[in-house]
Amino acid sequence: MLKRNSFIIILATVFIVLSAVFYFVHYLIFQDAHHIFIYMVGDLAFLPLEVLLVSVIIERILNRREKQDKLQKLNMVIGTFFSEVGNDVLRDLLVYFRNSKDIAQNLNVKGNWTKKDFEKAREYADNLKIDIDYKELDFNRLRDVLSGKRDFLLTMLGNPGLLENDRFTDLLWAVTHLAEELKARPSLDNLPDSDLKHLSNDIQRFYDHLASEWLDYAEHLKANYPYLFSLVLRTHPFQEGPSAIVK
């Protein structure tokens, strides 16, 4: 930091000296100090506006465009996650929730949804309380599905771009933790109720994050990629009889 500050001071000194030299050369040639000071004062008067235009307005426009580009790339990665893992788990776990009808009713995204509809559904998802029938839930299948995606999940966690999205990073940690919990047990058969409840809490945490991020992703597709959103509308698990076939 000290070296950087020294460099800036030296650079500023050089520019000030060069400016003084050019003004002096101008005076030697034209012998008109009055003219020099007129333009100097005019330049100084415009300087605050120049700083405003360059440092505030233009910089904000460029930062906003850069942020939008990053968001587009990030949503491509998030879309890959749902294609590989998220969509299947959303569907497979829902059937083991005793309150699945209530969840489906509140998260049943439709083509005519507005921003307010998505906000209402997201508020529901953020406070989602699932009632898991953990005695019927196929923990072995869930373990196999998540274990098969372990390398994919670790690759996503290593993506530096995802670190800028705290919510999605929390989702990745939640699903990775759940996968590790399931893998750590020699057998998932005949587990005591206390352990089943513990695993159910991990599923609760994971599904909360998953549902919220899925809604964000669906809203993004609706606004930017209608053809991809069309597929989501036909296949998401919160509707009756999901099918990719266009009817």
DSSP 149: T
User: In sequence order, what are the beta bridge partners of 97?
Assistant: 132
Question: What does the pLDDT read at residue 194?
Answer: 92
Question: What does the pLDDT read at residue 63?
Answer: 65
Question: What does pLDDT average to in each consecutive run of 10 residues of the chain (247 residues)?
Answer: 67 78 75 71 69 68 65 79 90 92 94 94 91 89 91 83 79 92 92 91 92 92 91 92 85
Question: What does the pLDDT read at residue 12?
Answer: 74
The rounded Cα 121 to chain-centroid distance in angstroms is 18
Tell me the average pLDDT of the chain.
84
The model carries a pTM of: 0.72
Q: How far apart are CA 50 and CA 105, in angstroms?
A: 55
Question: What does the pLDDT read at residue 109?
Answer: 94
Amino acid at 167: R
Alpha helices in the chain (DSSP H): 2-30, 33-51, 59-81, 87-94, 100-107, 115-126, 139-148, 150-157, 166-184, 193-224, 226-235
Question: What does the pLDDT read at residue 155?
Answer: 86
- pLDDT (tens digit per residue) in 157-173: 887 777 667 888 899 99
**Contact partners, residue 213, CB within 8 Å, separation at least 6:** 78, 86, 167, 168, 171
Could you give the C-alpha distances from 187 to 139, 182, 217, in angstroms and in order? 10, 9, 35
Question: What does the pLDDT read at residue 153?
Answer: 87
Is the CB of residue 65 less than 8 Å from the CB of residue 147? Answer: no
Domain boundaries, the chain: 2-61, 81-235
